[in-house]
Amino acid sequence: MNITKRFPDLFVPPHILSIEPYVPGKPIEELEREYGIPGSVKLASNENPLGPSPMAMKAMESAIGKVHRYPDGGAFELTRILSEHLGVPPEMIVFGNGSDELIGLLCHTLLMPGSEVVLPQPSFLIYDIMTRSMGARPVNVPLKSLSIDLDAALGAVTDDTRMVFINNPNNPTGTIIRKEAFEKFLAKLPPRVMVVVDEAYIEFVRDKACAVGTDYLDGPNPLAVLRTFSKAYGLAGLRIGYGIMPREIRDLINRIRMPFNASVLAQVAAGAAIKDTDFLEKTKRVIWDGLSYLFDAVGSLGLTCFPTQSNFFLIDMKQNAGEVFEKMLRRGVIVRSMASYGFPEYIRVNVGLPEENERFVEALEGILK
Identify residues 42-71 at the interface with ligand PMP (CB under 6 A). 46
Q: Which 3 state secondary structure label does DSSP give 287?
A: helix
Q: Which range in 8-16, 72-80, 96-104, 283-291 contacts ligand PMP by CB under 6 A?
A: 96-104
Q: By C-beta, is 46 or 79 nearer to ligand PMP?
A: 46
The contacts found for 301-305 with CB under 8 angstroms, 24 or more apart, are 301/361, 301/364, 301/365, 301/368, 302/368, 303/364, 303/368
75 vs 90: CA distance, rounded Å: 10
Q: By C-beta, is 40 or 167 nearer to ligand PMP?
A: 167
Q: By C-beta, is 79 or 99 nearer to ligand PMP?
A: 99
Q: Does 356 interact with ligand PMP (rule: CB under 6 A)?
A: no
332 vs 338: CA distance, rounded Å: 19
* Distance of closest approach, residue 193 Cβ to ligand PMP, in angstroms: 20
Q: By C-beta, is 85 or 330 nearer to ligand PMP?
A: 85
Residues 6+ apart with CB under 8 A from 261: 95, 96, 97, 101
273 vs 269: CA distance, rounded Å: 6
Q: Which range in 65-73, 94-102, 327-335, 354-362 contacts ligand PMP by CB under 6 A?
A: 94-102
* Distance of closest approach, residue 150 Cβ to ligand PMP, in angstroms: 17
Q: By C-beta, is 280 or 361 nearer to ligand PMP?
A: 280
Q: How many residues bind ligand PMP (CB under 6 A)?
A: 13
Q: By C-beta, is 124 or 313 nearer to ligand PMP?
A: 124
Q: By C-beta, is 233 or 361 nearer to ligand PMP?
A: 233
Q: Does 98 interact with ligand PMP (rule: CB under 6 A)?
A: yes
Per DSSP, helices labelled H in the chain are 2-6, 14-17, 28-35, 54-63, 76-86, 99-110, 126-133, 150-155, 179-188, 247-256, 264-273, 277-299, 321-330, 354-368
Q: Does 99 interact with ligand PMP (rule: CB under 6 A)?
A: yes
80 vs 115: CA distance, rounded Å: 35
Q: By C-beta, is 53 or 228 nearer to ligand PMP?
A: 228
204 vs 207: CA distance, rounded Å: 9
DSSP annotation of 42: E
Per-residue binder mask for ligand PMP (CB under 6 A), 210-249, x = binder: ------------------x-x-----x----x--------
**Burial level of 208, CB count in 10 A (0-12/13-18/19+)?**
exposed
Q: Are 123 and 146 in contact (CB under 8 A)?
A: no
Using left for φ > 0, alpha for ψ between -120 and 50, and beta otherwise, residue 263 falls in beta
Per-residue binder mask for ligand PMP (CB under 6 A), 177-216, x = binder: ---------------------x-x----------------
| Neighbouring-strand partners of residue 244 | 93, 225
Q: By C-beta, is 40 or 46 nearer to ligand PMP?
A: 46
Q: Are 49 and 69 in contact (CB under 8 A)?
A: no
Using left for φ > 0, alpha for ψ between -120 and 50, and beta otherwise, residue 359 falls in alpha
Residue nearest to ligand PMP (CB): 98
- Using the rule CB under 6 A, which residue among 43, 53, 81, 100 binds ligand PMP? 100
Per-residue binder mask for ligand PMP (CB under 6 A), 127-166, x = binder: ----------------------------------------
DSSP annotation of 216: G
- Using the rule CB under 6 A, which residue among 171, 173, 175, 311 binds ligand PMP? 171
Residue ranges in contact with ligand PMP by CB under 6 A: 46, 98-100, 124, 167, 171, 198, 200, 228, 230, 236, 241
